[in-house]
């Protein structure tokens, strides 16, 4: 028998220490709910878990971003709903002005409401605001909240947790001038918009027509038909009798010029040496006016005619039902032109609203996907990091019992040395 080294007590103490360490870890996991509380618990599992947590945070914020984007779109949509309503009212007023039962005083009253509706369209577009961003304004979007494309605000929505998961939403100028912008495709050389009243302007118009065809924005066959019909209509207004065989052809790719046949049966737009101003037909000046009219009509819609319309450049030149008739135009024809102008504006607003609606529907699906992905990632992270409470409780019970048993055995082992005392009596 020895008393310097109590091996059974040392063994019991070692087991007690191990059991208490296990019991401490069991208590930590049960109280925190996490299986991994430090890298020592599971280094690889911790790394995977932290990466998943980062992704979950990104997914949740992307969901919030998408909801914010829907809020912006709905703000735009609400404003454009009213713009559409006012354009519909303008159509009603223009149709009313086209009726021959109204005199100049009545049309002037109609024009007052048209102008006020135009002012309200401008006010709504320039003041529709979402967190300081004005997506429908004419020029207030410059250098605000993102890069601009031709002074149109380009808003990039981050709709995912990684680079490249974005949705681009471009602002649109929805002022009166902006919604009639598509009517300004063919312009005079000096940059002013509308009726081509100068030969220089016509030369510029030919260049624009060439570019439109080259860019596939204008169908050459349709352009020929439109020009033919427009020349016939315009020529008749200037007193020229155009034969039924008359037609216009466009020859590309060439710098566009105009040459009229001496018999007035054909007009070819090509790169011939003769300029438009050198028409040799007997009624050359009148036919020049007809072709000038035709170029403008080719764009689809004309600016309203008259001194009032000519003095405007803010979009109101397209809604002047009181403009005086010139070149054979009467007030009814002018009002009908306004109707066509407004329909083009309605189509313009409709296209942008359709784009907004498509973006909103996409965002709603994006949100659903983000939420599902976040849910599944949370579940995966939970399997790695969370405590299995039942399993851990079983381990705790085992370690608790072993710890108590080891403590009892340590006491027994310490008592075993007492037998030595009997030998010393």
pLDDT at 140 over 90: no
DSSP helix/strand/coil, 259: strand
Round to whole Å and give the CA distance between 232 and 247: 9
Helices 104-127, 331-385: axis angle to 10 degrees equals 20
Q: Which helix (H) or strand (E) covers residue 270, if one does? A: strand 266-270
- Top-confidence residue, 197 or 373: 373
pLDDT at 257 over 50: no
Q: Which helix (H) or strand (E) covers residue 257, if one does? A: strand 257-260
The number of C-alpha atoms within 13 Å of 219 and in the hemisphere containing its C-beta is 5
Average pLDDT over residues 25-40: 91
Average pLDDT over residues 307-332: 71
CB-count exposure of residue 167 (10 Å: 0-12, 13-18, 19+): middle
pLDDT at 214 over 70: no
Which residues touch 137 (CB under 8 Å, ≥6 apart)? Answer: 125, 126, 127, 128, 171, 173, 175
Round to whole Å and give the CA distance between 87 and 94: 10
Peptide bond into 253 cis (omega under 30): yes
Q: E strands of 88-203, at which residues?
A: 148-149, 152-158, 166-170
How does residue 304 score in pLDDT terms, banded at 50, 70 and 90? Answer: confident
How does residue 196 score in pLDDT terms, banded at 50, 70 and 90? Answer: very low
Nearest to 88 by CA among 111, 107, 114: 114
């Amino acid at each position: 028998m020895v008393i310097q080294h109590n091996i059974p007590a040392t063994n019991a103490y070692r087991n007690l220490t191990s059991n208490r360490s296990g019991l401490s870890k069991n208590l930590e996991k049960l109280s925190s709910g996490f299986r991994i509380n430090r890298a020592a618990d599971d280094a690889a599992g911790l790394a995977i878990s932290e990466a998943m947590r980062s992704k979950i945070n990104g997914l949740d914020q992307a969901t919030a971003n998408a909801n914010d984007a829907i809020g912006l779109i709905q703000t735009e949509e609400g404003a454009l709903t009213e713009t559409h309503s006012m354009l519909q009212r303008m159509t009603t007023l223009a149709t009313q002005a086209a009726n021959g039962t109204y005199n100049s005083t009545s049309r002037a009253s109609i024009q007052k409401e048209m102008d006020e509706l135009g002012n309200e369209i401008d006010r709504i577009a320039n003041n529709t605001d979402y967190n300081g961003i004005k997506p429908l304004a004419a020029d207030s979007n410059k250098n605000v909240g993102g890069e601009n494309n031709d002074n149109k605000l380009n808003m990039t929505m981050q709709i995912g947790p990684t680079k490249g998961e974005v949705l681009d939403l471009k602002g649109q100028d929805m002022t009166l001038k902006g919604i009639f912008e598509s009517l300004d495709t063919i312009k005079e050389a000096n940059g002013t918009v509308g009726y081509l009243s100068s030969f220089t302007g016509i030369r510029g118009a030919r260049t624009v027509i060439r570019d439109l065809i080259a860019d596939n924005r204008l169908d050459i066959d349709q352009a020929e038909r439109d020009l033919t019909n427009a020349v016939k209509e315009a020529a008749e207004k200037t007193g020229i009798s155009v034969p039924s065989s008359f037609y216009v052809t466009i020859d590309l790719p060439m710098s566009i010029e105009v040459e009229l046949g001496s018999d007035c049966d054909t007009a070819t737009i090509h790169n011939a040496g003769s300029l438009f101003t050198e028409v040799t037909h007997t009624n050359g000046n009148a036919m020049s006016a007809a072709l000038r009219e035709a170029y403008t009509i080719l764009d689809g819609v004309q600016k309203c005619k008259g001194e009032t319309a000519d003095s405007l450049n803010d979009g109101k030149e397209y809604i002047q039902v009181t403009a005086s008739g010139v070149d054979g135009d009467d007030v009814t024809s002018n009002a009908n032109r306004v109707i066509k102008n407004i329909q083009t504006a309605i189509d313009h607003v409709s296209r942008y609203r359709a784009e907004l609606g498509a973006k909103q529907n996409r965002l709603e699906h994006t949100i659903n996907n983000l939420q599902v992905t976040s849910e599944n990632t949370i579940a995966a992270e939970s399997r790695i990091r969370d405590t299995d409470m039942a399993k851990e409780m079983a381990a705790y019970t085992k370690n608790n019992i072993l710890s108590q048993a080891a403590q009892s055995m340590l006491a027994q082992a310490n008592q075993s040395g007492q037998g030595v005392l009997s030998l010393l009596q």
